[in-house]
Each structure stands twice: as structure tokens, then as C-alpha cells.
Structure 1
Amino acid sequence: MENTVAETLPESDVRFPIVLRGYDRRQVDEYVRGAEKRIDRHEKARRVAERRLAKAQVPAPRAGEPDEAAGLGRRIEKILQVAKTEAAEIKDQARKDSDELRAAAEKAVAEAEASRAEIERAAQREAQLIISRAEEQAAAIRAAHQEVLDRLGRIAVVVEEVREQYGTESESALEPEAADAEPSLA
């Protein structure tokens, strides 16, 4: 019934098994060695912490000596003031650049609008010219068509006159030929 005590257990949780004549000697010795090691580690950590604390502590300035922290504060204030000034200058320059870009963009938009309007006017003029030419060509085609119709009408009148005048003579002249051309049914 042997139990070993872990080094990580807090001292209040340590229990030793009871053996025939008290506690197990080997287990107690083991626990004591572990406890001594922990004490040594804590002692070393305490000394290191004390040295760090001693190094971190800054003595208060004596009367008549310049306050280094105050000088540091003034330097920081100057650095901050310079940074603020530079930031303001950068903002001003950015505003100027932004205004210039906006003005250039507005000018480009105005030029583009003027160009668009001019192109639109030119396109309207060209479209009107095309329409006018198309209307002129359509009128010329209509006139030519009408002239053809008029000629055909005159030709039809002439043909009718010729038919009336020569129609009876040509019919009688064509009749024997027409009779020859017809096949007999017998």
C-alpha cells in the first residue's frame, strides 16, 4: 500500500499512509526533498524579483538637481507638438490635393458634357441630312415610278388604238392560219 507524493501537491493536501510503526520513511523523505526543492526555487525567484525591483526603483530627485523626468516630459511634449504640427500640415496638403482633384474632375466632367452635347448635335445634323437625302431619293423614285406609269398608260392607249385600228384586219388575216394550226378531230 505504497503511495508516492507528487511534487505539485500543496502541503495541506499531503497525507502519508500509516504503516506498522508510524509513517513510511521513504515516502516522507521523498516529500521532504521535494519540499526543499520547491523552497529553493521560490527563494531564487524571490531574490530575482528583489533585484528587479531594486533596478526598477528610481530615486527621487534631490533638491537643486534637474528633474530628468520633467525634462523627458518636456521633450515628449515637444515631440507631440511637432507631430501635431506635421499632422495638421499633412491634413492641409491632403485637403488642397483633394480640392485640386475635385476641381480637375469637375472640369473633366464639364468638358465631357460639352463634348457629348457637340457629338449629339453633330449626330442630329447628320441624321437630319440622311433623312433629307432619303426623302429626296424617295421623291425621285416616286417621280420616276410615276413617269413609268404614265408611259405605260400612254403605251396602253397606243396599243389599244392600234388594236382597234388594225385589230379587224389582223384577225381576218390570222384566221386561216389559226384554222391550219388547229388539229382536226376526225
Structure 2
Amino acid sequence: MENTVSEPETLPESDVRFPIVLRGYDRRQVDEYVRVAEKRVDRHEKARRVAERRLAKAQVPAPRAAEPDGAAGLGKRIEKILQVAKSEAAEIKEQARKESEALLAAAEKTAAEAERAREETERAAQRDAQLVISRAEEEAAAIRAAHRAVLGQLSRIADGVEELRVRYAGETGTETGTVTEEEQPETADSVPAPA
């Protein structure tokens, strides 16, 4: 007699909750749930095959020769037992098929939900990235405009300074860039010491 694999049931499908992580489900938890669901399906499939093998072993061809009177009752009881066994095997097989279909449907639904959540997270991340890029481009444009304005002001100041230098040099009658002895700043050596 074969033993079926007994593995403790985790949670019924109705009790499964996935925590939401970054606008979606935790991928590892969803993968784990799908893995457990596949194990359940495999376990039910093994149980179905075991039941079918037992049923095949239990089916004994009816004897062709006439049975003695004492064995006639025994043959009917065996036939009844076989009918009950067939009926139970069919019920087990049907139940395993239904559970397998339910688990597979739940796993497909969970996978579809996880995929939708992943796509939504990806779209949200792309929107956020585009927003950051747009803001950065706006700030860069503002900085470039401010830089051009400062350069323009510096250019006007330099032109004004040059104009003043030329005018000052023209009023004093000196060449541009030459400093007379009178215009030289006093140094510590040229200042008379106090008496």
C-alpha cells in the first residue's frame, strides 16, 4: 500500500494577504504562494494517481466457473466492496481535480494581479522620473539664464570701468597704463616718521 505525501497545509486561499510594497505586492511572497499552490496541485495529483492504482489493483476479473454455494455470497460481497471502492476513488479523483483547478485559478489570478501591480509601479516610477527630469531641466534653464544675466552685468561693468579708466587717463594727460610719481600710492618707506 502506497503512502501519500502529507505536508501541512499553510493557509486557505481566502486567508492569504500580501503586504503592499512600493505600490504593489512583494514579489518574493507572491512567488512563494505560487510555489506552495503548485506543491498542493502536485500532491493532489499524486493522491489521484495512487487512488487510480489502488482501484486498478482492486479490480479483479469475475471468475468464469460456477462458484460453489458457499462462495456465492462471498462473490457478491466482494463485488459490493469493489463498487464502493470505485465510487470512493471517483469521488477522490473528482475532488482532487476540483481542488487542482481552484488552486491553479487562484495562482493565475495572483500572478495576473502581481503583473498588473508591477506594471502600475513601473508606470508610476516612469512618471516620477519624468517629473524629476523636467524639474531638473527647468532649474538648469533658470541657472543658465541667471548666468547669462550676470555675465551681461559683468560685461557692462567692465565696459564702464574701461570707459572711466580712459576718461581718467585723458583728464590727467597720462598715457593709459603709466603711473606718475605723484599718482603712486605712498608706501611705508615714503611716509615721514612722526617727530
Q: Does the alignment reach a TM-score above 0.5?
A: yes
Q: CA deviation at 1:176?
A: 7.5
The secondary structure found in structure 2 opposite 1:174 is: coil
- RMSD (Å), alpha carbons: 2.5
Q: Find out whether 1:129 has 2:119 as its counterpart.
A: no
> Cα distance, 1:175 vs. partner?
3.7
Give the Cα–Cα distance (whole angstroms) in 2 for the partners of residues 71 and 163 of structure 1: 136
Query: Which 5+ residue runs of structure 1 have no aligned equivalent?
Result: 1-65, 182-186
Aligned residues: 116
* Off by >6 Å, runs of 4+ in structure 1: none
Partner residue in 1 for 2:90 = 88
Amino acid at match of 1:162: L
CA-to-aligned-CA distance 1:56-86 (integer Å, 9 cap, x gap): xxxxxxxxxx733232222122112111111
Q: Write 1 or 2 for the structure with the bigger share of helix.
A: 1
Residue of structure 1 equivalent to 2:61: none
Cα 1:140–1:67 shift into 2, 3 Å: same
Taking a change above 3 Å as real, the CA distance of residues 167 and 70 of structure 1, as seen in their structure-2 partners, is: farther
Higher RCO (CA < 8 A, seq sep 6+):
2
Using the alignment, how far apart are the partners of 2:104 and 2:92 within structure 1?
18
Q: Structure 1 residue 141 and structure 2 residue 150: aligned?
A: no
Taking the aligned partners of 1:70 and 1:167, their CA distance within structure 2 comes to: 143
What residue is the counterpart of 2:183 in the other structure? 174
Q: TM-score, normalised by structure 1?
A: 0.55
- Give the TM-score normalised by structure 2: 0.53
Which residue does the alignment assign to 2:161?
159
Flag structure 2 segments of 5+ consecutive residues without an equivalent.
Answer: 1-67, 191-195
